[in-house]
Structure 1
Amino acid sequence: MYDQAKLSELIRFARVDAGATVIDVYPGDGDWTRLFSDTVGPEGRVYSFVPAEVAHFKNDPVGLMRTLAKEPGRKNVEAVSADVVAMPEATQPADVVWLHLFYHDLHTALIQKKGATAAQFNRAVYERLKPAGRYVIVDHAAAAGSGTSDTQALHRIDPASVRAEVEAAGFVLDAESALLANKDDSHAIKVFDPSIKGKTDRFAYRFVKP
């Protein structure tokens, strides 16, 4: 995770407010779900959405989120799981859909094994968001012009490709942030390599449903 200043800035960037409904897609260990739970408060709602494509992982991601939802003060959290493109059927209309270091996976064999595509997922997000809802994506940057060619090998994606795909679903780019940029990242190293892990050049986009 990031230091407190960056965490706070990212929550502001996502425009997550008290009373909001947030869908945290592929929540990992649940760090963002907890932060959103604290931010939206008792009148808000957080869906910790685990794509069925990763539910079989040995760390039991669905079980982890169900346990998190039982923590004291987490009554506003609901753990849900379904095929990634079936998110609208598993959740309620949302103010924010949040993807942290996951969008590139939409172009990998793991997420596509049941036939899902990035285009289908973006349409699902559009369907699930309320009017003026925010679709926020933070991911590892690939080299400019590389498109989606590094998603499988390096777990990176060209920010321009993300923007083009999301706008094709009807979204409008509302803001971008260089908060997590790292000019010293060569973009040629796998994100899990010890020399760059946790320090990759990352982009943040906030799209809005008109």
Structure 2
Amino acid sequence: MKKLLAVALAATMLTACASEEEAAVEAPAYTASQYGSAVNDIARTPEDRERDEARKPGELLAFAEIDRGDVVGDYIMGGGYVTRLLAMAVGTDGKVYAFQPEEFIAFRAEYATEQDEAMAPYADVDGSPVQAVPLRAPLAEPGFPEPLDTIITVMNWHDLYLEQMPEGTPETVAAMLYDSLKPGGSLIVVDHLAAEGAGAEAANTLHRMDAALAREALTGAGFVIEEESDIYSRPEDARDTNVFDESIRGLTDQFAWRLRKPAEATE
């Protein structure tokens, strides 16, 4: 009887150990909760906080695998929503290069003002190192001054397909972003989804991205899609409405990709 009990106990212990090992393997290395200080940063605007439910800032930072001390690029920073999150997430040992294209500022002058306002809280806090650096330059030539660990671009990729852009802009930008990263660095792309096969026309009429076109340009530059997240998946969106339409604004179905520049990549 003792022998049977010992065997049963050993089997139970092995099962428990196996379960613990499986749990350890399955536990995500990055979680939304670890970025609470970035999400709750007092420098974030009330408008930012109103958008948080839809934009899921903690989940985005976790998906991007942002670490303190990282050097990160916010490519086409818009109003600075992502820039402000990144500045706190990388901490004073890291740096964020917040890029605003000259073409966008020429189209809407407020982009320059919004960039200045987004940078102000992080420029020089009590003599600490500069956390966020503004960059203004042509769309395909941001001039990142050092190799980056991660680049994030949110709801911008479709803009590369607008009729006003020179032919080949998506391919040129994809290659530039690839070259701007350290070997092993990552690119995070989030954008509004168009219907399958919608083509570049969807960018012009709906401000949506045909995922197949984006995938072609990015993998063609050498990126490998490491993971696709469903954090912004909204299958109820028919993908046929302009993203600025009030009936769908903030509720679009979006793709979120983490792409990797291979570690053995050569410059």
TM-score, normalised by the number of residues in structure 1 = 0.92
Does the CA contact (< 8 Å) of 1:81 and 1:90 recur in 2? no
- The match for 1:81 is 136
Task: For structure 1, list consecutive stretches of 5 or more residues without a partner in the other structure.
Answer: none
CA RMSD across the alignment: 1.8
Aligned residues, how many? 207
Shift of residue 146 of structure 1?
1.8
CA shift at 1:109, angstroms? 2.9
Deviates most, 99-108 or 154-163 = 154-163
Q: Pick one of 234, 240, 254 that aligns with 1:202.
A: 254
Amino acid at match of 1:143: A
> Which residue identity is paired with 1:100?
V
Of 77, 80, 101, 1:30 maps to 80
Give the distance between the partners of 2:91 and 2:64, measured in 1 at CA. Answer: 16
Cα offset for 1:141?
Answer: 0.2
1:175 aligns with 2:264: no
CA contact (8 A) 2:54 2:251 kept: no
Contact preservation (8 Å) 2:149, 2:186: yes
Q: Is residue 24–residue 49 contact of structure 1 (8 Å, CA) maintained in 2?
A: yes
Q: What is the CA–CA distance in structure 2 between the aligned matches of 1:133 and 1:147, rounded to whole Å?
A: 29
Identity rate, percent: 33
In 1, distance between residues paired with 2:68 and 2:54?
A: 19
Which whole-Å CA distance do the structure 2 matches of 1:192 and 1:46 have between them?
28
1:188 Cα deviation from its structure 2 partner: 0.8
Seen in structure 2, the aligned counterparts of structure 1 residues 78 and 170 have a Cα distance that, compared at 3 Å, is same
Q: Is 1:82–1:90's contact at 8 Å kept on the other side of the alignment?
A: no
5+ long unaligned stretches in structure 2? 1-50, 263-267
Which range moves more in the overlay, 76-85 or 63-72? 63-72
Alpha-carbon deviation of 1:6? 2.2
**Bigger radius of gyration among the two:** 2
Question: Could you say what secondary structure the match of 1:152 adopts?
Answer: helix
Tell me if 1:6 matches 2:56: yes
Whole-angstrom distance in 2 between the partners of 1:154 and 1:102: 13
Inter-CA distance 4–118: structure 2 relative to 1 (3 Å threshold): closer
1:66-145, aligned counterparts within 5 Å?
66-71=116-121, 73=125, 75-87=130-142, 89-110=143-164, 112=165, 117-145=169-197
Quick check: 1:84–1:116 contact (8 Å CA) kept in 2?
A: no
CA contact (8 A) 1:66 1:78 kept: no
Normalising by the residue count of structure 2, what TM-score does the alignment of the two structures yield? 0.73
What is the CA deviation profile of residues 13-52 of structure 1, one whole-angstrom value per residue up to 9, with x for unaligned ones?
A: 1111100111111212111101000000001010110011
Alignment of 1:142-153 (within 5 A): 142-153=194-205
Partner residue, 2:99: 49
Contact 1:147 1:161 in 2 (8 A): yes
- Code of the residue aligned with 1:75 in structure 2: it is V
Q: CA deviation at 1:162?
A: 1.1
- 1:75 deviates by 2.6
- Deviating runs (4+, > 6 A) in structure 1? none
Cα 1:5–1:162 shift into 2, 3 Å: closer
